Structure 1
Amino acid sequence: MVAGYTLVLVILVLGGLIATLGDRIGTRVGKARLSLFKLRPRTTAVLVTIATGGVISATTLGVLLAADQQLRDGLFRLHQIQDDLKQVEQQKNEAQTELSTARTQLERTQTQLQGADRNVKAIETKLAQINRNYQNALAKLATAEQESRTLEAQINDLKGDRGQLQAQLQQAQTQVAQVRAQAERLRKEGQQLQTGIAQLEQVRGRLEQEIGQLRQGNVAIRREQVLATATVRAINSTDLARQAVEQTLQEASRVAGCLGQSKGQPELCVNQSSPTNPNPPRVRISSTELNNLVNTLSNGRDYVVRVLASANYSSGEPEVGVFTDVTPNRLIFPTGAVVAQIPLDLGSVDEPTILSQLDRLFLASNVRARQSGILADPLTNKVGSFSQVTLVQFVEQLQNLKGAVQVQSIARRPIYTAGPLEIQLVAVQNGEIVLRSS
């Protein structure tokens, strides 16, 4: 506050001094009848007075701008401050919108969780009520049977009142039939519950058996291991689709038998020359899944069918449970598409370093192919292979080049979901291919 008063006082004093000085200068100019720029003396005096007023205004504005930072900001940075204010307001509104959305989602999740808790409690209450009804029915059955025996004894003792006793007996028998029907219904519900418990016990026993096999190390086929893969192309007939499925299941049975003989070494079962089993295990698949698979394959599209083991199996088991995975066989990489690439400075690396970098290129190509949807080989778990002889020749030719290059792996032919990934190595320098593997 004091600084403001001081500033006003300084401006008034300075303005008075400059005005007085300008008046005296104008008076002297007028008396001396001076002429500037060949103007008349009176016009020159007016011009001096105008200049003095301009100096007063400029001095006042300069003092204000020099003394007050906020005035400078308001005069020169007003538009920027307004833009910053609008941006801050917009960020504030976006943050409030995101907060409101997060709160709404949290409330929805809490509502769903409360509904699930209520359903669980209702099921538990219903199960407890069923158990109580079952016990009550058993008690009523025992009471009714006791009443039936009592009535039969009364009939033997009171044959004279036979008609009345027969009516009472029929009534009792009706009650017994009703109670027995209710007891039978509850008994069936109890059997269903016991069946469910028995199935759970079987699953638990199977899991314990698989755990024991894993600990003993004698598992030949592991859960979800791919036993066979087949590419089915444009089948419009159910019979042809069923035939293709049966051939794929036969191949899965052969591979399962091979894995059992080779102690779970997949590389020994890649082709038909691998050890064969005269009595391969039978492949078990549900009829519903089999029919669904046939219907899917007969719609005229290309698919890749994989048969996978549904559990762990040891050598010599007569039956192997499987399930199928069906994937549309679509184009992943057209011919010449770049799968992966690495930079390589040939002036500062030796042959082992080049081989190491190319191994990294192969690994990147394998990862890119898997992420793009190419299925791995069912036994080797690889998406493709590359000739070692071709690799050595490419490295020898690569060492003859100089400078920095980009080594790329490109698709040799159109690559589909079924694979395999067949690639060719090329070296690109200054945007042009300077070397290509055979």
Structure 2
Amino acid sequence: MNWRLIITLLVVSAILAYLGDRVGMRIGKKRISLFGLRPRHTSQIITAFTGVLISIAILGTMSVVSENVRTALFSMKFLQSQLTNLTAELQDSRDEVQLMSIRLVESQSKLEAQEKKLQEVQNQLASVRPELEKARGDLSQIKNEKNALEREKYKLDEEVGSLRQEASRLREGLIQVRSGRIAVFAGELLGQHVIQPKSSPSKVDALFQELRRRAEFVVGLRSGVSPDEITLAVDLEEEKAKIQECTNSENRKFIRIIANANVLQGEDVRVRYEVYDSRLVYSKGENIASRSWVPKGADAESFLHDLLAEVNHQAVDEGIMPDPVSGKVGAMDATAFFDAVEELQKATKVMSVKVLAAENIYTEGPVQIVFHITPFGASS
């Protein structure tokens, strides 16, 4: 409460009422007449005027002392207008707030629905994740298999390309063979020579020279020309290295001269050297293979051919070097072979057929053999 304003209004009102009463009494005593009125009426007018002055003084005092009173007296319509506008704006704001509240509720409902859907999706994702991991593992395995297949395909493509080239060379060789123009085949053995341990450089060099002459003789014999007209294309650096390898060697060695490629008649023969250690495989008279011969309905020639094939296979397994082209490790005199066939055909009981080493047989071969045929169970 504004006590200062209240006290001020009471004091001013009391003063003005006292002054008005005093003025009215004096006028009444003097019987003053205003505007031709009776003194009693004049006193009433002055008393009413004093009340007006009291009201004016109260309003003026309140206006001076209180800003709110001044605003209420002089700006009431403006305030009412502002209050109306503010009320309208407040109502609009309330409507907007209400609308926003409704939208907020709708948004919250949508948010709850979305959160529910999100939870469902997360649950589905959690249930699908193991399958996804498995699918990733399967995909990784498929990729690895695909890479392996691609590498295998690449290797197969290379092999196919190599086989095509080889087939092309074979077709060319076949054409040349049919036309009778091939003198030497690729990989064919043209000769070999044994080099004893501790051989001197001069001796080894002489053996290499002899090996070349032997190869020239073989090619010349096939081509029907003089060996002097045959030219061997040799890598001199390779030949020097092979000679060095065989010189003063602690072990028995043998050297082979091999044709590098098919050679047409009249062409230079490209050759290479191959050096191997030589060791004793079969001693003279050693039993290499044996079978029993049953004469009833058997073919002696086929029997011996099978036995010789077994000897060839066994000799290769024992380390004897076969011919690069034919795969054979030796040859047998036809007379000795057919003598053995005839002896088996004449037999009337089971015979023991042994294949014996005719000489000491080393790694380089050849495998020289003899047949030893005796009745089965008889002492050798």
**TM-score, with normalisation over the residues of structure 2?**
0.49
Structure whose CA Rg is larger: 2
Q: TM-score, normalised by structure 1?
A: 0.43
